[in-house]
Amino acid sequence: MLLSVNVFVSLDGIMQGPGAPDEDRSGGFDRGGWLVPHASVHTNEVVQSWFQEADAFLFGRTSYALLGGYWPQVTAPDDLIASKLNTLPKYVVSTTLTDRQADWNPTTILRTGIVDTVRRLKELPGKELQVHGSWQLVQTLHQAGLVDLYRLLQYPVVVGTGKRLFPDGSAPATFTTAEGGERVLPGGAVSLTLTPTTVGVISAGAYTVQSGRSTAVVD
């Protein structure tokens, strides 16, 4: 399976607490719910297209608890997102979650050796092992070069503080846009599908004047 990271981000790269004021107040964050005024039928269609590709899910503990407290209540048979989340295999990374607490079936708790375990999960048959939210887990996966695809919905808002998708200290990386993976939605949200081409290194260059013309030279 491909490993995809699917997240909502602001213009300044914040992914913390997009859906509600109390979604994630860690670090004193008090700007939750910033996504909701900008949600639309168009952004909903994009998110549904993400879930169509899912064959399993990988979560950090906080996102698992948040989503697991909401989506089992959605029982409409035609809700694609609920159907996928409530029936497909789920893997949650946690050293403190008990088997009894992991009652959003089917769920497997991953307690140790996360990087190696995820590599093995990617070898299973299927389209995608999807990560949604799960800020700390995303950092681990990115640093290890395990992410095959990033899907971002970037909303036209600057949050100003909070957890960023790529915080200071992230491994440098370059990306290409997947075919058809760039779309500006009505209302100003941008849908991006990005494929990492390098992790751990980025190329550099400079502008120079050659024959009277400004020219980009890449090392």
Best CA proximity match to 85, nearest among 139, 47, 119: 47
Residue 8 has pLDDT above 90, yes or no: yes
What's the whole-number average pLDDT of the chain? 96
Cα 196 to the center of its chain, rounded Å:
14
What is the C-alpha separation between 127 and 71, in angstroms, rounded? 22
Parallel, antiparallel, or unpaired: how do β-strands 190-199 and 173-184 relate?
antiparallel
Say what the pLDDT of residue 28 is. 97
Say what the pLDDT of residue 12 is. 97
- Domain 2-218 CATH assignment equals 3.40.430.10: yes
Residue 13 has pLDDT above 90, yes or no: yes
pLDDT band at 178 (very low <50, low <70, confident <90, very high): confident
pLDDT per position as a tens digit, 205-214: 999 999 999 9
Residue 20 has pLDDT above 90, yes or no: yes
pLDDT per position as a tens digit, 137-168: 999 999 999 999 999 999 999 999 999 999 99
What is the C-alpha separation between 58 and 66, in angstroms, rounded? 14
Residue 190: CB atoms within 10 A of its CB come to 16
Say what the pLDDT of residue 219 is. 78
In single-letter form, the type of residue at position 159 comes to: V
Average pLDDT over residues 79-107: 96
